[in-house]
């Protein structure tokens, strides 16, 4: 232990030097893009911005799935000429139930269900009871799978929508089974984003049923939907979707040539254009409703067939509304509504104050520890101080390398690490002191002191390490950032103490060969 | 400067008979912890936004804030039971509201917008410094996760000490840590610092720090158990504490010095954290000496020695 090869020496110094290099970009305002240097990310609490925790409405996904399946079953049974009664789905039970026309058809119905596409039938368990009822239950796994797909898809759409607003450096991540975390640095009023994300933006084109007049008793297959700009007015919209907004290829805000109002122009893909053309050709003179999230935006009368695959939506928009609607249509519809569960906004000035306060605390705390070590441990304390300085640099370097996010609690974690970092040095120094008191010569005292302190150092650090790893795994938000900095701090502390400062002590001993230790 | 140390924290050859005070130490600690538990139930912790749910809006008005006017605006917007307080400077306003019970996600969203508008209406040119809204369901989840993190940490620490030392050490350590934790919670109740996620981090740090301190003393006890076969356990523990006293105090001092500036200049959001830390350092250090080591005395001496020998 008392011999340090030059190779080892070089390695330790090289590590510190690399650390210093990795640390440097943090002091530049904008590191050159040519060099892959990385900076520590500042958390929203330090730079200001908005944090939104959103939840995907899993119920809607299940409801939609049950709806689609009911339709499929209906069609299958009709095509096979099998009778059914009273088909209905239950959301809380995740089931679809229907009654057979006659018990004799039971086998034929079950066979027909089994022959439905695999992709559909794999999601359900089919059972029949004694009362001629067939029950289809959505399986737990299928629901999880659907929800998971919905989250992935929602994240993609949320990203597209936010990117389109020009937000700088947004971060969109998944949390748990059904949540999305959106972080928007620099945005101190998240209202517009919240509105954008709060809209499902499912756009569909429907024909109206002009024979229906009483909103309280709509005929089958017709729903009375409110107008977007006048909810009191309700139109009888046929449930059948003539054209789906998912078939749009582009949408942009513009002006209506005729009346100068703001409008949204859109363009369909080939399939959409064909569908649009055939519907408009067959229904000239009838109103055509454009429905967005169960509200009728507009229901113009079709004057001439629209064959070019492009159209226009007008609806007394403000410029902002037109821009946002175009943006939503371009980005696509969310598979299910998103609800804001948690919102945090920190103004930029508060972030700056926090950095300043944290910086001052760090500097003063650092200085106090350095002086303490010099006063109470002399030369050995000085070596500990060098290690402490290296520790600070290495911690910053590793945080930069991982591009970890530094938060306010993270800064507190760094500060505490600095306080604890000299513990290993203190343990070694105290041991050496004891060995000197026991009458050992300097060389033996150094060696025995280090060896004996080592197991204590390992024990105390491994305990701390384990509990902070736990904290990182199970913690959320600020707790995580805190645990991360401390975990990294423990690793760098072990390195700087056991390698760097101990090496300095040994080099000093090898050069001066003192008769007694300054301890 | 780069010579001998100017000062020694603990004079060479210090021999304090800590074990004589073991009952006083344990009783004092138990009384404080029981008092803390009582405080925990009544009046209870001041839960922060993270765990209580609700809304906090911090705003900076141009010129001194007119609280009567803000209150009027809030009443006009049908916002009731708003906690309204000055926060630092006289142009700084803090508005708190509990989470609406019905339909929490959307109602909370509407509410935060209304609050912002109300304060903007009361004072032109007001800057919203911070606006947080946490739904009731999220807050209870955060609370559960926070407690889970605390519990798991305790468990991990116990298993590690059990694995590295012996169960006697693990049990003593856990009892001490629980005593430390309860006192920190009592401190939180008395000081009325808001208990939020950052405070959970503070409690965990105290846990980590305190364990660290105990492991060092235990390490020495174990070493001495192997070295001095015939020394009475009481003397042996006294000796171990004395031998590690200098280190215990020095490390406490450095951690204390590092956290002190944070308490003094850390700003509103971190000073609470730092004060709890400082309290925890004092409690953790004293419990290493007066609780954790004495508890070992109550364990069976014979088994301690046998085990120490076995693991030699």
Residues of A in contact with B170 (CB under 8 A): none
Average pLDDT value for residue range B81-89: 77
The reported pLDDT for the residue numbered B303 is 66
> What distance, in Å, lies between the first and last C-alpha atoms of chain B?
41
Mean residue pLDDT across chain A: 85
Q: What percent of chain A has pLDDT over 70?
A: 97
Q: Which residues of B touch A353 (CB under 8 A)?
A: 267
Q: What is the DSSP letter of B259?
A: H
What number is the average pLDDT over the span B86-92? 79
The mean pLDDT value for A51-60 works out to: 89
Q: Which of A259-273, A324-338, B101-115 has the lowest mean pLDDT?
A: B101-115
What would the pLDDT profile of B181-214 be if each residue is shown by its tens digit? Answer: 999 999 999 999 989 888 888 888 888 889 889 9
User: What pLDDT digit, counting tens, does each position of A322-380 carry?
Assistant: 888 888 888 888 888 888 888 889 888 888 888 888 889 889 999 999 999 999 999 99
Cβ distance A138 to A123 under 8 Å? yes
Neighbours of A410 (CB within 10 A): 28
- pLDDT value at B70 more than 50: yes
Strand order in the sheet with B54-60: A171-175, A179-185, A49-56, A338-346, B127-134, B54-60, B89-97, B83-87
User: Considering only residues 158 to 217 of chain B, which have any Cβ-Cβ distance to chain A shorter than 8 Å?
Assistant: 160-161, 164, 197-198, 200-201, 204-205, 207-209, 211-212, 215-216
Q: What are the E-state strand segments in A201-260? A: 203-207, 222-226, 234-238, 243-244, 248-255
Are A357 and B267 an interchain contact pair (Cβ–Cβ within 8 Å)?
A: yes
The whole-number pLDDT of residue A182 equals 93
Q: Is the pLDDT of residue B269 over 50?
A: yes
pLDDT higher than 80, residue A30 = no
Long-range contacts for A4-8 (Cβ within 8 Å, ≥24 apart)?
A4/A503, A4/A506, A4/A507, A8/A503
Backbone angles phi, psi at A491, to 5 degrees: -65, -50
∠ Cα A106 A109 A112 (to 5°): 150
CB contact residues (below 8 A), chain B span 224-243, against chain A: 243
Strands (DSSP E) contained in A269-317 are 288-292, 295-298, 310-317
Measured CA to CA, the distance from residue A462 to residue A437 in angstroms comes to: 30
Instruction: Answer whether B258 sits within 8 Å of A368, measured CB to CB.
Output: yes
Task: Give the residue-averaged pLDDT of B96-100.
Answer: 81
> Which residue matches tokens 């499912």?
A202
What is the pLDDT, as a whole number, of residue A491? 93
Interchain CB distance below 8 Å, B130 and A479:
no
Q: Do B256 and A419 touch (CB under 8 A)?
A: yes
> A115-149 b/e with 16+ CB inside 10 Å = b?
ebeeeebebbeeeeeeebebbbbbeeebbeebbee
CA distances from A479 to A64, A152, A347, A366, A484 (A): 38, 26, 21, 23, 9
Does residue A164 surpass a pLDDT of 50?
Answer: yes
Q: Find how far residue B173's CA is from the centre of its chain.
A: 17
Mean local confidence (pLDDT), A298-310:
85
pLDDT tens-digit profile of B220-245?
Answer: 998 998 888 888 888 999 999 999 99
Q: What is the mean pLDDT of residues A468-489?
A: 81
Q: Which of A393-402, A413-422, A477-486, B228-237 has the lowest mean pLDDT?
A: A477-486
A484 has pLDDT over 90? no
Contact B201 A418 (CB under 8 A): no
- pLDDT at site B128: 85
Distance CA A341, CA B112 (A): 12
User: In the prediction, which pLDDT does A382 show?
Assistant: 94
Instruction: Read off the tokens for A142.
Output: 């299928």
Confirm or reject contact between B8 and chain A (CB < 8 A): yes
| Helix A442-474 vs helix A502-512: crossing angle, to nearest 10 | 170
**Selected residue with higher pLDDT from A29 and A203:** A203
With bands split at pLDDT 50, 70 and 90, how would you rate the model's confidence at A113?
confident
pLDDT at residue number A365: 92
Least Cα distance to A334 among A151, A166, A206 occurs for A151
Q: Which residue of A194, A436, A478 to mutate against B (max B Cβ within 10 Å)?
A: A478
- Residue A407 reports pLDDT greater than 90: no
pLDDT at position A231 is 85
Question: Where is A120: in which H helix or E strand?
Answer: helix A118-121
Interface test with A, best of B201, B214, B271, B281 (most A CBs within 10 A): B201
Q: Write down the pLDDT at residue B312.
A: 47
pLDDT digits (tens, 9 = 90+) for A497-518: 998 999 899 888 888 888 888 8
Rounded to whole angstroms, the Cα distance separating A161 from A165 reads: 7
For chain B positions 38-77, those within 8 Å of chain A (CB to CB) are 58, 60
To the nearest 10 degrees (0 to 180), the angle between helices A408-437 and A348-401 is: 50
Residue A102 burial (CB count, 10 A): 9
Residue of B2, B6, B207 with shortest CB distance to A375? B6
Inter-chain residue contact A476 with B277, CB threshold 8 Å: no
What interface predicted TM-score (ipTM) does this complex get?
Answer: 0.88
Chain A contact probe: residue of B205, B239, B243, B273 with most A CBs at under 10 A: B205
Beta strand pairing status for A49-56 and A338-346?
antiparallel
pLDDT at B189: 95
Q: Under an 8 A CB cutoff, do A353 and B267 touch? A: yes
- Asked if A244 contacts A272 with a C-beta cutoff of 8 angstroms, the reply is yes
Nearest-Cα distance to chain B for A139, in Å, is 26
**pLDDT for B279:** 96
Q: Minimal Cα–Cα distance from B174 to chain A, Å?
A: 13
* Chain A residues with CB-CB distance to B224 below 8 A: none
Task: Quickly list DSSP for A388-431.
Answer: HHHHHHHHHHHHHHTTPEE-HHHHHHHHHHHHHHHHHHHHHHHH
Residue A512's CB is within 10 A of a number of other CB atoms, namely 8
Count of CB atoms situated within 10 Å of the CB of A307: 13
Residue in B closest to A198 by C-alpha: B106
Nearest of A364, B112, A515 to residue B120 by alpha carbon? B112
Check B5 against A416: CB less than 8 A apart: no
Cα of B55 to nearest chain A Cα, Å? 9
Tell me the C-alpha distance between B9 and A377, whole Å: 10
Q: Which residues of A touch B198 (CB under 8 A)?
A: 408-409, 478-479, 482
Under DSSP, is residue A466 helix (H, G, I), strand (E, B) or coil? helix
Which residues in chain A are contacts of B146 at CB distance < 8 A? 475, 479
Q: What percent of chain A has pLDDT over 90?
A: 19
pLDDT value for A133: 85
- Token code pair at residue A190: 């998240």
Q: Which residue of B has its CA nearest to A427?
A: B247
- Examine the pLDDT at A79 and tell me if it is beyond 60: yes
A358 touches chain B (CB under 8 A): yes
- Interval A63-79 mean pLDDT: 82
Q: pTM value?
A: 0.81
What pLDDT does residue A124 have?
A: 82
Round to whole Å and give the CA distance between A451 and A435.
11
Residue B299 φ/ψ, nearest 5 degrees: -80, 165
Main-chain phi, psi angles of A68, to 5 degrees = -60, -45
pLDDT at A240 over 70: yes
A225 compared with A75, residue with greater pLDDT? A225
Of the candidates B141, B119, B112, the residue with the CA atom closest to the CA atom of residue B54: B112
Q: Which helix (H) or strand (E) segment is A357 a member of?
A: helix A348-401
Which of B196, B150, B149, B147 minimizes the C-alpha distance to B48? B196
Tell me if B133 and A379 make a contact (CB, 8 A cut-off). no
Q: Band of the pLDDT at B11, cuts 50, 70, 90?
A: confident
- Rounded to a whole number of angstroms, the distance from the CA of B50 to the nearest CA of chain A is 10
Residue with tokens 């029949």: A128
Give the phi and the psi of residue A189 in degrees, each rounded to 5. -135, 100
Task: Please check whether residue A431 is in contact with residue B190, taking contact to mean a CB–CB distance below 8 angstroms.
Answer: no
- Contact of B179 with B33, CB cutoff 8 Å: yes
Pairing of strands A95-100, A310-317: unpaired
Chain A closest CA to B101's CA: distance in Å? 14
pLDDT at residue number B178: 94
* Model confidence band, residue B141 (pLDDT cutoffs 50, 70, 90): confident
Show Cβ contacts of residue A2 under 8 Å, excluding neighbours closer than 6 positions.
A443, A446, A447, A506, A509
Chain A neighbours among B 12-31 (CB < 8 Å)? 12
Look at residue B126 in the predicted model and tell me its pLDDT.
85
B147 close contact with A: CB closer than 8 A: no
Q: Which residue of A has its CA nearest to B255?
A: A419
Looking at chain A from residue 11 to 70, which residues have their Cβ under 8 Å from any Cβ of chain B? 45, 53, 55
Range name among A92-96, A229-233, B46-50, B85-89 with the lowest pLDDT average = B85-89
Report the alpha-carbon angle A495-A498-A504, nearest 5: 105
CB contact under 8 A, A415 and B258: yes
Whether A228 and A356 have beta carbons less than 8 Å apart is answered as no
List all residues 6 or more positions away from B71 whose beta carbon is below 8 Å from its beta carbon.
B82, B84
3-class DSSP assignment, residue A89 = strand
Please tell me the distance in Å from A96's CA to the nearest CA on chain B. 28
Q: How many CB atoms lie within 10 A of CB A63?
A: 15
CB contact under 8 A, B149 and A470: yes
What's chain B's average pLDDT?
A: 86
Across residues A97-110, what is the average pLDDT?
84
Contact (Cβ atoms closer than 8 angstroms) between residue A427 and residue B288: no
Q: Kindly list the residues from chain A whose CB atom is less than 8 angstroms away from the CB atom of residue B180.
A: none
Asked if A296 and A225 touch (Cβ cutoff 8 Å), the reply is yes
d(CA A79, CA B251): 82
Question: And the tokens for B240?
Answer: 């171990």
Within chain B, residue ranges assigned H as helices are 22-41, 49-52, 67-76, 104-122, 136-164, 167-191, 197-227, 233-265, 267-287, 293-297, 301-310
- The confidence score (pLDDT) of residue B7 equals 80
Which of A354, A381, A412 is the best residue to mutate to test the B interface, defined by the most B CB atoms within 10 Å of its own CB? A412
Q: What is the pLDDT of residue A42?
A: 84
Phi, psi for A452 (deg, rounded to 5): -70, -35
- Nearest CA of chain B to the CA of A70: how many Å? 30
Quote the CA–CA distance of A269 and B297 in Å, as a whole number.
Answer: 82
- Check pLDDT > 60 for residue A31: no
The 3-state DSSP class for residue A179 equals: strand
Residues 410-439 of A with CB under 8 A from B: 411-413, 415-416, 418-420, 422-423, 426-427, 430, 433-434, 437
| A463·B208 Cβ contact <8 A | yes
């Amino acid at each position: 232990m008392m011999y340090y090869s030059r190779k080892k020496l070089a390695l330790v110094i090289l590590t510190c030097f690399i650390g210093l290099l990795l640390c440097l970009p943090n002091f530049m305002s904008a590191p050159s893009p040519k060099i892959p240097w990385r900076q520590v990310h500042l958390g929203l609490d330090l730079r200001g911005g908005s944090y939104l925790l959103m939840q995907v409405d899993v119920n809607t996904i299940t409801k939609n799935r049950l709806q689609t399946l009911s339709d499929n079953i209906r069609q299958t049974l009709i095509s096979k000429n099998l009778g059914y009664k009273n088909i209905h789905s239950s959301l809380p039970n995740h089931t679809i139930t229907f009654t057979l026309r006659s018990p004799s058809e039971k086998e034929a119905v079950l066979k027909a269900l089994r022959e439905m596409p695999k992709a559909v039938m794999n999601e359900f368990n089919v059972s029949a009871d004694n009362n001629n009822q067939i029950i289809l239950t959505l399986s737990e796994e299928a629901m999880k799978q659907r929800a998971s797909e919905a989250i992935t898809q929602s994240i993609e759409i949320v990203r597209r929508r936010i990117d389109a607003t020009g937000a700088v450096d947004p971060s969109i991540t998944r949390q748990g089974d059904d949540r999305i975390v959106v972080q928007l640095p620099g945005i101190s009023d998240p209202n517009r984003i919240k509105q954008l994300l709060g809209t499902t933006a499912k756009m569909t084109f429907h024909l109206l049923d002009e024979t229906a007049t009483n909103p309280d008793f709509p005929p089958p297959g017709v729903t009375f939907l409110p107008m977007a700009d006048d909810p009191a007015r309700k139109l009888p919209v046929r449930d059948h979707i003539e054209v789906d907004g998912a078939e749009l290829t582009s949408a942009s805000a513009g002006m209506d040539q005729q009346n100068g109002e703001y409008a949204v122009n859109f363009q369909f893909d080939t399939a959409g254009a064909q569908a649009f053309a055939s519907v408009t050709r067959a229904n000239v003179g009838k109103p055509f409703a454009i429905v967005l999230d169960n509200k009728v935006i507009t229901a113009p009368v079709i004057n001439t067939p629209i064959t070019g695959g492009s159209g226009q939506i007008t609806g007394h928009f403000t410029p902002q509304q037109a821009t946002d609607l175009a943006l939503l249509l371009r980005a696509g519809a969310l598979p299910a509504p998103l609800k804001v569960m948690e919102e945090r906004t920190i103004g930029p000035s508060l972030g700056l104050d926090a950095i300043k306060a944290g910086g001052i605390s760090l500097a003063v705390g650092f200085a106090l520890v350095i002086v303490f070590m010099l006063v109470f441990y002399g030369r050995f304390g000085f070596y500990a101080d060098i290690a402490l300085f290296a520790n600070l640099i290495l911690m910053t370097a590793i945080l930069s390398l991982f591009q970890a996010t530094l938060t306010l609690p993270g800064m507190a974690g760094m500060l505490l690490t600095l306080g604890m970092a000299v513990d290993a040095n203190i343990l070694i120094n105290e041991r050496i002191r004891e060995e000197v008191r026991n009458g050992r010569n300097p060389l033996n005292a150094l060696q025995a002191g280090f060896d004996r302190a080592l197991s204590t150092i390992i024990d105390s650090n491994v305990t701390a390490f384990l509990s902070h790893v736990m904290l990182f795994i199970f913690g959320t938000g600020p707790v995580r950032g805190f645990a991360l900095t401390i975990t990294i701090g423990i690793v760098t502390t072990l390195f700087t103490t056991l390698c760097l400062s101990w090496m300095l002590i040994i080099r000093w001993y090898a050069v001066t060969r003192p008769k007694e230790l300054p301890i | 400067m780069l010579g001998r140390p100017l000062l020694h924290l603990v004079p060479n050859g210090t021999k304090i008979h800590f074990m004589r005070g073991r009952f006083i130490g344990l009783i004092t600690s138990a009384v404080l912890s029981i008092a803390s538990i009582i405080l925990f139930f009544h009046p209870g912790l001041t839960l922060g936004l993270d765990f209580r749910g609700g809304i906090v809006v911090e705003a900076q008005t141009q010129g001194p804030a007119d609280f009567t006017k803000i209150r009027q605006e809030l009443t006009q917007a049908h916002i009731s039971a708003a906690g309204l307080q000055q926060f630092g400077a006289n142009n700084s306003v803090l508005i708190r509201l509990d989470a609406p019970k019905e339909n929490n996600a959307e109602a909370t969203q509407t509410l935060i917008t209304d609050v912002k508008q109300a304060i903007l209406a009361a004072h032109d040119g007001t800057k919203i410094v911070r606006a947080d809204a946490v739904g009731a369901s999220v807050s209870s989840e955060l609370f559960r996760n926070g407690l889970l993190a605390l519990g798991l940490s305790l468990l991990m620490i116990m298993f590690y000490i059990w694995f590295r030392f012996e169960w006697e050490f693990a049990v003593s350590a856990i009892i001490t840590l629980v005593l430390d934790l309860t006192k920190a919670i009592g401190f939180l109740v008395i000081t009325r610092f808001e208990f939020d996620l950052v405070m959970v981090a503070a409690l965990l740090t105290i846990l980590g720090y305190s364990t660290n301190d105990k492991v060092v003393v235990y390490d020495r006890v174990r070493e001495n158990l192997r070295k001095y076969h015939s020394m009475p356990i009481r003397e042996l523990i006294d000796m171990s504490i004395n031998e590690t006293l200098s280190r215990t105090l020095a490390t406490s001092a450095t951690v204390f010095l590092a956290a002190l500036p944070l308490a003094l200049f850390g700003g509103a959001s971190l000073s609470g954290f730092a004060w709890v830390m400082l309290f925890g350092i004092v409690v953790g250090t004293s419990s290493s000496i007066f609780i954790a080591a004495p508890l070992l005395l109550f364990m069976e001496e014979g088994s301690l020695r046998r085990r120490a020998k076995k693991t030699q």
